[in-house]
């Protein structure tokens, strides 16, 4: 896709949604980290339902450790892969307390040193909590980028690196959220809502339909 069209796409996103953010509900950097860990292969809705109760009793690393593994599982058992996620969260809380004075680390390397935190999760935290210009390529962003023509890659990392190169710098901070929301509600996997799409005329997929 030509750069002028990419610029137009993100200008439209910015005009339609000037302040995009995650749909995960959180009240601190730590709560965001836990919510993002839980969101892997799960919906934000299911995570929010679980954390609504969890964060009332355990909103810090120490409080979660006080719950213990069995206690934590009771709060997140409705979420997919909750056994492994609970184990990772307990281990991550111990590391945060021992190595980072109870605070969520602010670098990618430090975040990825936590169990259950890969590149995508680290990028979400860096972007949403700390305002870094990172793009966490999940299934929505991977699909939208390839379908629209913003990037063409076979792996999330390839798509991430391409997007960082072509998206205008002034839009990079919010690009992650715009693309996720577009994929979640408009550019759906099986039946994209092209008739409701604000960027339809700029999309490579639309050209294939004509």
Active-site annotation, residues: 120, 138
Non-local (6+) Cβ contacts of 151 within 8 A are 145, 158, 159, 162, 163, 166
Non-local (6+) Cβ contacts of 59 within 8 A are 27, 28, 30, 31
CB crowding 108-123: b at 16 or more within 10 Å, else e: bebbeebbbbebbbbb
Give the residue from 8, 2, 9, 3 showing the smallest Cα distance to 186. Answer: 9
Q: Are 174 and 20 in contact (CB under 8 A)?
A: yes
């Amino acid at each position: 896709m030509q750069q002028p069209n990419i610029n137009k796409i993100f200008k439209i996103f910015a005009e339609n949604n000037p302040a995009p953010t995650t749909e995960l509900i959180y009240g601190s950097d730590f709560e965001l980290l836990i919510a993002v860990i839980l969101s892997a292969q799960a919906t934000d809705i299911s995570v929010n339902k679980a954390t609504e109760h969890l964060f009332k009793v355990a909103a810090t690393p120490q409080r979660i450790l006080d719950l213990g593994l069995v206690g934590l599982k009771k709060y997140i058992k409705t979420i997919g892969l909750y056994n492994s996620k609970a184990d990772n969260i307990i281990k991550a809380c111990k590391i945060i307390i021992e190595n980072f004075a109870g605070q969520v680390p602010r670098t990618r390397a430090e975040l990825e040193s936590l169990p259950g935190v890969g590149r995508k999760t680290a990028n979400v935290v860096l972007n949403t909590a700390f305002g870094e210009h990172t793009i966490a390529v999940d299934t929505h962003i991977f699909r939208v980028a390839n379908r629209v023509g913003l990037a063409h890659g076979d792996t999330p990392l390839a798509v991430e690196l391409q997007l960082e190169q072509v998206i205008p710098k002034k839009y990079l901070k919010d690009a992650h959220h715009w693309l996720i929301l577009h994929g979640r509600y408009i550019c759906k996997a099986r039946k994209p809502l092209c008739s409701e799409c604000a960027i339809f005329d700029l999309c490579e997929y639309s050209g294939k339909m004509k």
